[in-house]
Structure 1
Amino acid sequence: MLLGYLRNTLYYTLFLILIVGSLPASSQGRKGNAGNDEPQQTHFKFKTIVIDAGHGGKDPGAHGAYSNEKTVALSIAKKLKVAINNEVSGVDVILTRSTDKFIELHKRADIANDNKANLFISIHCNSSPERVGTRRGVLLLVYGFHRKSEQMEALRENASIFIEKDYKKKYNGYGEDAAVNAIVLAAFQQRYRKQSIQFGNLLNTQLKVNNGRKSLGVREQGVLVLQQSGMPGLLIETGFINNPADEKYLNSAQGQADIVESILIAVRKYKASFE
């Protein structure tokens, strides 16, 4: 009973710390010499982006008629790294994988956390249940909780964990203390929700206006790779790979260049918002 009490007290304390920490500096304030609230000085520098190519190795992801998600995602991710390195000064870009390699979801988040990334971008392709799909367009996911019926994209992307060993020990919601862990992680992620949606909206505009792409919008879903990363993050479903027109676009040099250019412009605008 005592151990349970101590554990719950610890979780509650963490919860309060994260909630207070999620407040903007201007709302926390500090007392000046005259006793008036003054905004705290901020010294934030946007300097690291982690790009995650979804799936890989033994996990191919979704399939089209002649291509798969892991290959398309890696190609776009590598081109995006080159573009950001060439066009955005003062920003270090790190790939979670640069080859056809399977990397567990929590390790992808660890790479971002260990490098103190300021933005996490996960590249994926969508798919509909039919063998040859009719749905088209992009979808942008930020981490959030919604009803199971609204979580289909998250459920598909999260299915990668079942390839991993001991997944119940690694992921919130799949093992012991799931409810308590969910509270702590929800508070932690709430800190970055606004920035994630901000970046998602910037990218959504670029994809629709610059590329003329159909968009399913920015949605909140329980994507595990975003849940475990301690920074603003976005999972980009670049198109429906089982739709013939989208598959052709996603595999074309022009299509990938368009996607990279839209993400690049969104990154520039997002970075500028802090400066």
Structure 2
Amino acid sequence: MKNKALKRLIFGLLALPVCFSLFSFTIITPAKNDTVVNKGFKLKTIIVDAGHGGAPTGTGHFSHGASGSFSTERGVTLAIALKLQKAIEKELNKVKVVLTRSTEDDVSWERRSEIANENRGDLFISLHCNSLSDRVVREVVGHKHGRAIYKSVRVPNRSGKGVLLLVYGLHRTREEEKAISKNQLEGSEGEGEGAEMNAGLDPNDPESIILINQYKSKFRQRSIHLANLINTEFTETDGRQSEGIREQGVLVLCHSAMPAVLVETGYINNPDDEAYLNSEKGQDEIVSTLVRALKNYKDEVEQVVK
């Protein structure tokens, strides 16, 4: 190989165990820890994404997300994101947090990914609130000629409760490959895990293709591992109910060229969860949970794990 730095990094990445899930939209089993990590790698930048938002001034577009009886997803996620930014920068030494939005205004998913990639993020955390669609049931509304007359009606489904962690589905890997190619190979400027490839490499070159695939495997493994760390903190430390970890085709995750996890912090259309999500206690507990998991993740990726 012409590029010795590339060769060393490929061999280093090849030593990483590859973790693949067999099914989409299913609970994922815990991934093994990295046994080898990039020498000298430091977790420097975390992207915190507050899901959804209101209509920017002068536009007709907005995506407030799910709604509860007195609150919206856009408001809850922003409140938690702002608290999480402060907590991470206080508790995690020399880690910078970049918010994809810091106001009520909405930001498109494309721009959210761009912000993550432009800032050379090492990790992407997207905050959301879950909700269940109304159920359709049939009710008797009268009788005619001795027979019941039925009508289909929509009934709110407030049975959902607890947290859910999402990672991108395998059917989105081509989109992630493009993001990695652009941001880890073409866009390296001396920082982040792609710094050694700042040599004008061709993404269509076999060497680069090998490297892209190894980044993809590593990012997926680390995404699943972080999701497991977060889920463990929620369930074992906080005692919260969890639906586990699932794959979904979340565009903002697969277009961010870094490990990425979406956290459904609770069901906003469940009265108990909504009250918790809007309380100072609930928001502070969620932030503390995420910070604990991130500390564990940082310790692991910055050193050899045996």
Q: Assess same fold via TM > 0.5.
A: yes
Are 1:101 and 2:126 counterparts?
no
Conservation of the 8 A alpha-carbon contact between 1:62 and 1:69 = yes
Conservation of the 8 A alpha-carbon contact between 1:22 and 1:191 = no
Counterpart for residue 142 of structure 1: 167
Alignment of 1:48-59 (within 5 A): 48-57=45-54, 58-59=62-63
Deviation at 1:22, TM superposition (A): 7.6
Are 1:225 and 2:252 counterparts?
yes
Q: Aligned-pair RMSD on alpha carbons?
A: 2.7
Structure 1 residue identity aligned to 2:294: V
Counterpart for residue 216 of structure 1: 243
Distance 1:244 1:217 in 2: 21
Q: Deviations over 1:45-94 (max 9, x none)?
A: 11100100000012100011111100000000000001111111110011
Deviation at 1:184, TM superposition (A): 5.5
Q: Deviations over 1:185-241 (max 9, x none)?
A: 795644410000110000000001121100011111110000100000100000010
Identity of aligned residues (%): 46
Conservation of the 8 A alpha-carbon contact between 2:234 and 2:289 = yes
Counterpart for residue 13 of structure 2: 25
Q: Which runs of 5+ in 2 are unaligned?
A: 1-7, 17-35, 55-61, 135-155, 180-211
Deviation at 1:43, TM superposition (A): 2.7
Structure 2 residue identity aligned to 1:25: L
2:72 pairs, out of 38, 45, 68, with: 68
Structure 2 residue identity aligned to 1:87: E
Conservation of the 8 A alpha-carbon contact between 1:140 and 1:237 = yes
1:41/1:128 CA distance change after superposition, 3 Å: closer
Moved more, 187-196 or 126-135: 187-196
| Greater per-residue helix proportion | 1
1:49/1:183 CA distance change after superposition, 3 Å: closer
1:227/1:180 CA distance change after superposition, 3 Å: closer
Deviation at 1:95, TM superposition (A): 0.6
TM-score (norm 1): 0.72
Distance 1:23 1:217 in 2: 33
Are 1:270 and 2:258 counterparts?
no
Structure 1 residue identity aligned to 2:75: T
Q: Which runs of 5+ in 1 are unaligned?
A: 1-19, 29-38, 147-171, 173-178
SS of the residue corresponding to residue 258 of structure 2 reads coil
Counterpart for residue 47 of structure 1: 44
Distance 1:122 1:202 in 2: 15
Distance 2:108 2:67 in 1: 20
Which one has the largest radius of gyration? Answer: 2
Deviation at 1:40, TM superposition (A): 9.5
Distance 2:219 2:95 in 1: 20
Alignment of 1:1-275 (within 5 A): 24-25=12-13, 27=15, 42-57=39-54, 58-130=62-134, 131-145=156-170, 187=213, 189-275=216-302
Number of paired residues? 216
